[in-house]
Amino acid sequence: MSNLNNNLIYRFGTVALLWAISFMAYGQKPAPLLQNAYHRPSVSLNGQWHYIVDPYETGYRNHRRWEPFDEFVNTKASAAPYWANAKKTAPSQRIEYDFERSPTLEVPGDWNHQQDELLYYEGTLWYERDFSIELQPGQRYFLYFGAVNYRADVYLNGQKAGYHEGGYSPFNFEVTELLKSGLNEIVVRVDNRRSAGRVPGLTTDWWNYGGITREVKIIPVPDVFIQDYMLQLDPEQPAIARGYVQLNEAKPGQTVTISIPEAKLSRTFTTDTAGRAAIVLSAEGLKRWYPERPKRYEVVLQSGRDTLLDQIGFRTIQASGQDLLLNGQPIFLRGISLHEENPMRGGRAYSREDMALLFGWARELNCNMLRLAHYPHNEHAARLADELGLLLWEEVPVYWGINYTNPETYAQAEQQMQSLVQRDKNRASVIIWSVANETPREDPDRLSFLKSMAGAVRQLDTTRLVSAALDRTEDKQEKRVTVTDPFAAYSDMVSVNEYIGWYGSTPERIPQMRWDLSSHDKPFFISEFGAGALYNYRGAREEIWTEDYQAWMYEETLQMLDEIPSLRGMTPWILVDFRSPRRNLPNIQDGWNRKGLISEGGFKKEAFYILRDYYAKKAAQYRYDIKN
């Protein structure tokens, strides 16, 4: 056989192999999410990253064939893909980008509030930074992102680590093979375009902040490590804490030790053939976690060369008939809804300080609960709520109209739910998983979509409540309000958004309305009500957009809701004004939804005090004993 043929076969062989490798790398999804990455020692990659705005995807796709470069060329051959991060090495070499000479953005942080010209930008933007790390033998390395909105394609030293979709979920890639001791470079393509197949879909009433919105870090772990664990009180037998520890490998006979030093508790367990140890601990000696006494214990989990510390509070939450029971006692959820936005600084909230600002306002409102709308907020939220004693409703953005018949859309929604449960399942503060908000009740595809979501959550966690924010049914003639949404039957509590007095009517209609929930023997919850008001705009109560109109709306609504025997809580819409591209009334909205009880400048509106005082009364009405 001639050289030529040999050559050709050799070439074809190599190209085929490289293509296969690049395809495999291209298609790589994240590794299973590390449990408690929050407390694992790590190397932070936060800080200033270079960026290139790339609306035409010049650095990602071939301009004619439009398919991604990383599906085809091997990295070294071409400088075109921005993830090659090519540097000019010869005078006549033509490279039409250069991260080093490009401006920077702060990570974590959305790009919209950092650069005026990016405020409305939706598209592709590239991030790049260098970093040094000394690799240790016998260690494995994971690259962890708190969240990137929406799709992230991640490259390390010119090689693809993988990609992730979902704008509010944590993810990590194993990068042990891609990292090197010394200088490394990371490039991330971020695409925050809205599309019908994504979750959320094309329309939301919040700002589509793009970018690497939460922390980035490298996490070293031993070869065999604790991949996952859960430890919660058994709602049926609250004297017992149950759970499991899962190693990253199916290693039977491994010893796992769980210790709670403060309670002088320490027990060892053994893994089964799947590398999983079932945990059963007596909780007799453990103080219960209450909002009024948010007791957490340091829990030490140890197996082989791996030790993990966590702070866990122990409490039970149940729905019993029309009651919500916290540690077996009736509770009223005095809540408020909020978006993950720091109005003072602008942009997506991401830090402990951001959440402390928002939670501080909620405390002033006499809240014992928060609805984190409409997507998973950063992990500081649940950690801080555990510490401060605030109960949480957490949700995934199955919001309004998404593509309920598209299996890919379902896979994304379920994936977002799974990573949320995975991240926050050991948090005492989290009591409700919500699978949707205001979705079309007549649509049978939507119903099966939500039923599957609820089923998936209950597979992962049997210790918390599952719900969704539903629409009410109003008989205008009869002035009767009911809930006919079929999903209520699959929900542990019936949660409804109601805007009587704002959408479609004015507040004087509220006292005339009669709620009939006799067909639901479940706790009833108002997940939203509210009215828009511009801070400091005062006038007659009938004058829409005034604080007076909003206050009137609150007074009437709270009175109406108090008539409902099965009402067990509420999260009015909303704690603070927030950015929305759907709100465009000049000199009133100007791109802000004004239903906040606090303005974006931090100023409290009249209605804030009405709700605060109402909650003070509710707290007295629903007092319970802090037992043990």
Chain residues 476-505 in contact with ligand GCU, contact rule CB under 6 A: 497
For residues 379 to 418, the per-residue mask of contacts with ligand GCU, x marking binding by CB under 6 A and - elsewhere, is ----------------------------------------
CB of 503 to ligand GCU, least distance (A): 7
**Tokens of residue 583, six digits:** 């709100």
Interface residue with ligand GCU, options 595, 604, 605, 618 (CB under 6 A): 595
The answer to whether 100 and 335 are in contact (CB under 8 A) is no
Q: State how far the Cα of 154 lies from the Cα of 187, in Å rounded to an integer.
A: 6
Q: From the CB of 392, what's the least distance to ligand GCU, in Å?
A: 17
Size of residue set near ligand GCU by CB under 6 A: 9
Judged by CB under 6 A, the residue of 227, 571, 593, 599 near ligand GCU is: 593
- Min dist CB 217 to ligand GCU, Å, is 31
Nearest CB to ligand GCU, comparing residues 174 and 528: 528
Residues 107-166 that bind ligand GCU (CB under 6 A): none
DSSP per-residue string spanning 566-604: TEEEE--S-SB-EE-TT---TTTTTTEE---SB-TTSPB
Cβ-Cβ contacts under 8 Å for 518 (sequence gap 6 or more): none
* Of residues 312, 233, 323, 228, the one with CA closest to residue 271: 228
For residue 575, the minimal CB distance to ligand GCU (Å) is 12
Residue closer to ligand GCU by CB (options 51, 207) is 207
In angstroms, give the least distance from the CB of 499 to ligand GCU. Answer: 7
User: What is the closest distance, in whole angstroms, from the C-beta atom of residue 437 to ligand GCU in the complex?
Assistant: 5
Dist CA 610 CA 555 (whole Å): 7
Residue nearest ligand GCU, Cβ-based? 205
Binding of residue 573 to ligand GCU (CB under 6 A)? yes
What's the CA gap between 9 and 543, in Å, rounded?
80
Residue with tokens 């009024």: 292
Nearer to ligand GCU, 254 or 497 (CB): 497
CA dist 31 and 574 (Å) reads 36
CA distances, 535 to each of 63, 501, 548, 592, 598 (Å): 49, 19, 10, 12, 8
Taking the complex as a whole, the smallest distance from the CB of residue 501 to ligand GCU amounts, in Å, to 13
Instruction: Choose between 306 and 394: whose C-beta lies nearer to ligand GCU.
Output: 394
Listed in sequence order, the residues at least 6 apart from 538 whose beta carbon sits closer than 8 Å to its beta carbon are 546, 547, 548
**What is the contact mask toward ligand GCU in residues 198 to 227, using x (rule: CB under 6 A)?**
-------x----------------------
Residue 567: which of 510, 527, 540 has the closest Cα? 527
Residue closer to ligand GCU (CB basis): 86 or 468? 468
What whole-number distance in Å separates Cα of residue 130 and Cα of residue 297? 39
Q: Is 453 helix (H, G, I), strand (E, B) or coil?
A: helix
Q: In the complex, what is the shortest distance from the CB of residue 589 to ligand GCU, in angstroms, rounded to a whole number?
A: 11
Whichever of 225 and 499 has its CB closer to ligand GCU, that residue is 499
Q: Which is nearer to ligand GCU, 110 or 438 (CB)?
A: 438
Pick the closer one to ligand GCU by CB: 415 or 571: 571
Q: Which of 165, 528, 577, 606 binds ligand GCU (CB under 6 A)?
A: 528
Name which position in 322, 415, 437, 482 contacts ligand GCU (CB under 6 A): 437
* Residue 340 vs 528, nearer CB to ligand GCU: 528
Q: At a CB cut-off of 8 Å and minimum separation 6, what does 127 contact?
A: 49, 50, 51, 105, 107, 187, 188, 190, 211, 212
Pairwise CA distance, residues 280 & 300, whole Å = 15
Binding site for ligand GCU (CB under 6 A): 205, 374, 437-438, 497, 528, 573, 593, 595
